[in-house]
Amino acid sequence: MKYYIETYGCQMNYSDTERLKTLLESYGFKESKKREAADFIIFNSCSVRQKAADRVYGEMVNMAELRKKKKDLLVGLTGCMVHKGKEQKMEKATYELDIAFRPEDMCHLAGRIRELRPKWRLCETDLDGYFEIAPKTSNKYQVSVPIMTGCDKFCTYCIVPYARGREKSRPLNGIVAECKKLVKAGAKEITLLGQTVNSYSTFVKLLCEIDKLHSKGLNRLRFMSAHPKDFSDDLIKTLSRLKTICPYIHLPVQSGSNSCLRRMNRPYTREKYIEIIKKIRKAIPNCAISTDIIVGFCGETEKEFKDSCALYEELHFDMAYLSQYSTRKGTFAAKKLKDDVPKKIKAERWHYLNQVLKKHSLACNKKYIGQTVEVLIEKQTAKELIGRSREYKEVHIREFDKKKKWIGEIIKVKVENVREWELYGDKL
């Protein structure tokens, strides 16, 4: 039997897919590179944006064609589109869907498969816990480790607390043990994952424990995504002194307007956010910073949008992930707030802010010209090596020994040229 997983959305979903692969292979499934050849097709979905959810539903329709050729085909859905307690309802409502399950419940998948396909012989029975499943990593040098699931913040536009449930921190010892194993197997960079990763109960202690793996070969430690509310002074101080922490922070602000932040139920002010960024920059000089901004949120006035632009100009972010607001069914905003910014205005605001983003991104990158950065190589083609610097800048290297295998190597590169999204240089 063969499986095929199609993954959408954030790093958390990709990390869930790695665990799902291990699980399915322990049952006796083999991975198929082609969807058409698979017996079990799973969509690991994202519902943060309407477009991503629509794509999954679109793909689901195609399953009818495949089922004509393969009568036994099993179709599964997981990720943020599956809400707690709504699994059976989804299975009944979506014609081509056989199994809907939340990522946290994947350990009970064997029972469901047996129920639906009794003739399929599965080797293993269900496991005990989601976190106990070791991920099947595609790149042993750069790995992600989830440290928590769910979210307690309830931003009014977001479906995650309903889809993934309340915040649940994983025991510290289990995380450190997994990191040790991964470093022993060759990991040079670890990214800790969580919807609000720094809300983890003992986050500072956890970072300090993992940092000790520096002597065992861990070179880089990152985390995604942080929340401003829990970005404490103690955390900033710790980040500045740990050897493995990379000088790059992604800290979503979502809006530069206090009134808009209140409607979004983001529990901080524009002033507080600016204060945090200034403290980070003081403690970690040259720290690259990126953010998320939503434009066109319910009731967003021209003045509120301008506040977001002004915040961007003031903090000159290295990068930002911009999105145009779209209603997600089931959220507070969908029930109580009016999605009243016309589509055209949303698009205009997005394009305007995107120009601001490009300008700052280029200016930030220009600072690297003539400097040396350390790059962990992720990709090697006939023409170039591609990797990321500690500051999370994508770096392209054209001159290199083409006979040698470079993936997983950390090399020093002198930056010669830059564009908005990349740096270009030569290996030293």
Please report how close the Cβ of residue 180 comes to ligand SF4 at its closest, in angstroms. Answer: 29
- Is the omega angle on the peptide bond into residue 215 within 30 degrees of 0, that is, cis? no
Please report how close the Cβ of residue 227 comes to ligand SF4 at its closest, in angstroms. Answer: 5
- List of residues contacting ligand SF4 (CB under 6 A): 151, 153-155, 158, 160-161, 195-196, 227
Q: Which residues pair with 394 in a beta bridge?
A: 388, 422
Pair 88, 71: CB distance under 8 Å: no
Pair 96, 61: CB distance under 8 Å: yes
76 versus 161: smaller Cβ distance to ligand SF4: 161
Pair 177, 162: CB distance under 8 Å: no
As to burial, measured by CB atoms within 10 angstroms (0-12 exposed, 13-18 middle, 19+ buried), residue 329 is exposed
Please report how close the Cβ of residue 163 comes to ligand SF4 at its closest, in angstroms. Answer: 9
Please report how close the Cβ of residue 395 comes to ligand SF4 at its closest, in angstroms. Answer: 29
Provide the sign of the torsion angle of the four alpha carbons 356, 360, 363, 368, taken in this order: negative
Please report how close the Cβ of residue 15 comes to ligand SF4 at its closest, in angstroms. Answer: 15
246 versus 253: smaller Cβ distance to ligand SF4: 253
161 versus 256: smaller Cβ distance to ligand SF4: 161
Q: How far apart are the C-alpha atoms of 245 and 360, rounded to whole Å?
A: 24
**Cα-based torsion angle of the residue sequence 153, 156, 162, 167 in order, rounded to the nearest 10 degrees:** 0
Please report how close the Cβ of residue 348 comes to ligand SF4 at its closest, in angstroms. Answer: 24
| CB neighbour burial string for 173-204, b if at least 16 within 10 angstroms, e if fewer | eebbebbbebbeeebbbbbbbbbbbbbbeebb
100 versus 151: smaller Cβ distance to ligand SF4: 151
Q: How far apart are the C-alpha atoms of 75 and 63, rounded to whole Å?
A: 8
Q: Which residues contact 25 (CB under 8 A, 6 or more apart)?
A: 31, 136
Q: How far apart are the C-alpha atoms of 412 and 402, rounded to whole Å?
A: 17
Please report how close the Cβ of residue 301 comes to ligand SF4 at its closest, in angstroms. Answer: 22
Please report how close the Cβ of residue 161 comes to ligand SF4 at its closest, in angstroms. Answer: 5
Residue in the structure block whose two tokens are 């808009």? 260
One-character DSSP codes across 168-180: EEPPHHHHHHHHH
As to burial, measured by CB atoms within 10 angstroms (0-12 exposed, 13-18 middle, 19+ buried), residue 136 is middle
Please report how close the Cβ of residue 256 comes to ligand SF4 at its closest, in angstroms. Answer: 16
166 versus 366: smaller Cβ distance to ligand SF4: 166
46 versus 373: smaller Cβ distance to ligand SF4: 46
263 versus 360: smaller Cβ distance to ligand SF4: 263
3-state secondary structure of 396: strand
As to burial, measured by CB atoms within 10 angstroms (0-12 exposed, 13-18 middle, 19+ buried), residue 89 is exposed
Please report how close the Cβ of residue 266 comes to ligand SF4 at its closest, in angstroms. Answer: 7
4 versus 157: smaller Cβ distance to ligand SF4: 157
42 versus 159: smaller Cβ distance to ligand SF4: 159
170 versus 396: smaller Cβ distance to ligand SF4: 170
135 versus 161: smaller Cβ distance to ligand SF4: 161
Alpha helices in 185-287 (DSSP H): 203-211, 233-241, 258-263, 270-283
Beta pairing, strands 385-389 & 372-380 = antiparallel
Please report how close the Cβ of residue 86 comes to ligand SF4 at its closest, in angstroms. Answer: 18
